[in-house]
Amino acid sequence: MLQRNIVSVFLVIFFSRIKCEDEVRTINWTIPDGEIQGQIHRTVNNNLSYCSFRGIPYAKPPVNNLRFASPIENDPWEGLHDATHDRSECTQYASGDLLGDEMLGSEDCLYINVYIPSKAIDPKANLSVLVWIHGGSFTSGNSSYVKFGPDYFLDQNLVFVSFNYRLGIFGFFSTEDGACPGNWGIKDQILALKWVQKNIAYFGGRPDNVTVFGQSAGAVSVNLLLQTKLAEGLFHGAILSSGTSLNLWGLNTRASLTSTLLGFNLGIDSSNSTELVEQLRSVNAEKIQKVGWTTVLTLFLTNALRGLPWAPVMEPNIEGAVLKDPSEFSLSQGNFSKVPVLMGMNSNEAAVFTEVPFLLKLYLLYYDVVVSYLTPYSMTKDSVKRLAAGEYIKLHFFGLLPIPTSAEKLINFVSADQFFRPIRQACTLMSQHVNAFFYIFGYTDPALGATESDTGVGHGGDLQYVFRSYDNNTKTDVQVSEMLVKLYSNFVKYGNPTPIEDSAFNNTIWPSVNASASNLDYVWLNQSMVVDVNPKQEIFEYYSEVWSTFGDETEMTTY
């Protein structure tokens, strides 16, 4: 079977080079589930030819009795499966549609994409594999080529895989008991990784050298995949960009209340969770999406700092559970897969909120009144401590003025509270058990008038340099892109972003974090790579003080 694939690719690529390079050619390929038809292209820089196979089913459609259930491996098919285009994204609302008026996607969305450089036609190639998990607050996003074109990674001779997973209510609804434990989207990811192990050798990839890469909610997902025994052995390296399972927004702490309110809003008795789930499986997808969204939005607005509307949940200790223990406990105890980790964040994650709309300013006054909500939810269960900590935090970040009066102070607080503190803490804990590399990305294009005194790089600002779906407008943009892609690609291939001295990085070696050292080594990624120590030290020390003063001492209190 492998031999047949190799010959087919060679012939089609050979003849496509004789004819018009811009003309898209199709190619047939065979995997254990059946025959698929893909396409042959050239990367955006016209560096090499590659094959794309998009929209391969890796699970049965999660509808009817499979809604709110663990995914089931897809059945083999008869005939030729069309893998020349992206399939439906998972059910979601259009970006920015807070009112839930424009529904996109479908429940039938569990498809996987594989991109292979022409070098993979050599049976001895055994190329390293990069698996991408998209972000999107666990409620939006997809794995389409338009959003995440992998051309730059293909130029580095990596096999690239991406896939969809269930989102929103369909991916993260939970009654917090055995009737509907939740984390369906994470369980989709695990099945997709099993598909990679079973199939990637047919595409010239090495199943024993797979790295999982996620950004934002995708990075939280990667951190959870590290911690669950269900994904053990399915990957051999992990890249976490702008998110970990310690980020407060990455855990839903109100799932049971949500399920009760959802049943009430749909006119379903919520007193019996098994009956509730059975009836919810028969509700029209558009209706359950809309009512589910308005239900969680109401809860979310009572305290937006407590976690995303739909997100991973703690599960009961039952078979098939992904997350049974608090993440900080698992990370501190080394209860996670022992693989190399590359992780970091952008220089000012909340800088995407450069202006605060009037209605949001009115909402933020709420935190001036209920100041205890400024306290990280995981810090303490003591209401007196929570209030005292909230007042202490408000004074530190906002002074005596109302919170909405300064967008800059608000950005600094959100970046520190929701990103910097938990991401560095996760690195500190994980580096005690595995080889970890830490970074801060801070490149802003000087040709566009940016300076280092500007607000910094906001959430997602790094993606344009690693995927071709965005425009890199200047020579410096291209240089930064080449640097990032090569660092990531080295990590995928060797478990180390700088395995040897390289003039492309000014012969700089990226040091791993020394868990026993007093300083935390990291690199500052701008127009070049600079080694430094103790990223965001002031913020880290401040929150360490807050935690020691107001945090509970008798239990693990952070995610």
Residues 296 and 389 in one domain: no
Instruction: Say if CB 248 and CB 417 are below 8 A apart.
Output: yes
What domain count does the chain have?
A: 2
Closest CA to 340 of 240, 215, 219, 205: 240
Residues 387 and 489 in one domain: yes
The last residue of a domain, from among 314, 339, 364:
339
- Distinct helix (H) and strand (E) counts, the chain: 15, 15
Give CA–CA dist 389/7, Å, rounded. 66
8-state DSSP, 90: B
In this predicted model, what pLDDT tens digit does every residue of 251-305 receive, in sequence order? 999 999 999 999 999 999 888 999 999 999 999 999 999 999 999 988 888 898 8
Residues 401 and 300 in one domain: no
How high is the pLDDT of residue 15? 35
Domain with 408 in it: 344-550
Would you state the structure tokens that stand for residue 296, as one six-digit string?
Answer: 């969680």
Percentages helix, strand, coil for the chain (3-state, rounded to 5) are 40, 15, 45
Handedness of CA 490, 470, 47, 529 (dihedral sign): negative
509: in domain: yes
How high is the pLDDT of residue 14? 40
557: in domain: no
Give CA–CA dist 509/122, Å, rounded. 32
CA separation, residue 501 to residues 37, 475, 490, 494, 504 (Å): 42, 24, 12, 14, 9
**SS3 of 33, please?**
coil
The last residue of a domain, from among 285, 304, 339:
339
267: in domain: yes
Question: What burial class does residue 210 get, using C-beta atoms within 10 Å of its C-beta: 0-12 exposed, 13-18 middle, 19+ buried?
Answer: buried
How high is the pLDDT of residue 154? 95
Residues 331 and 381 in one domain: no
8-state DSSP, 203: G
Residues 463 and 545 in one domain: yes
Residues 334 and 381 in one domain: no
Residues 190 and 276 in one domain: yes
Closest CA to 240 of 482, 510, 439, 24: 439
Q: Which residue has the tokens 């005939």?
A: 79
Residues 236 and 252 in one domain: yes
Q: What is the CATH number of the domain that holds 538?
A: 3.40.50.1820
Q: Compute φ and ψ for 345, nearest 5 degrees.
A: -155, 170
Instruction: Say if CB 155 and CB 44 are below 8 A apart.
Output: no
Residues 308 and 348 in one domain: no
257: in domain: yes
242: in domain: yes
Would you state the structure tokens that stand for residue 289, as one six-digit string?
Answer: 């999406």
Q: Which residues of the chain have pLDDT under 50?
A: 4, 6-22, 448-453, 554-559
169: in domain: yes
Give CA–CA dist 290/157, Å, rounded. 43
pTM of the model: 0.93
End-to-end CA distance of the chain: 46
The last residue of a domain, from among 319, 339, 359:
339
Residues 395 and 290 in one domain: no
311: in domain: yes
Residues 379 and 500 in one domain: yes
Residues 318 and 410 in one domain: no
In this predicted model, what pLDDT tens digit does every residue of 501-518 receive, in sequence order? 999 899 999 999 998 888
Give CA–CA dist 199/70, Å, rounded. 21
Q: Compute φ and ψ for 213, nearest 5 degrees.
A: -125, 125
How high is the pLDDT of residue 102? 80
Give CA–CA dist 410/398, Å, rounded. 8
**Residues paired with 84 in a beta bridge:** 54
Can you spell out the DSSP letters for 342-383?
A: EEEEETTGGGG--S--HHHHHHHHHHHHSGGGGS-TTS-S-H
How high is the pLDDT of residue 515? 83
251: in domain: yes
Would you state the structure tokens that stand for residue 557, as one six-digit string?
Answer: 């209190």
Give CA–CA dist 314/559, Å, rounded. 10
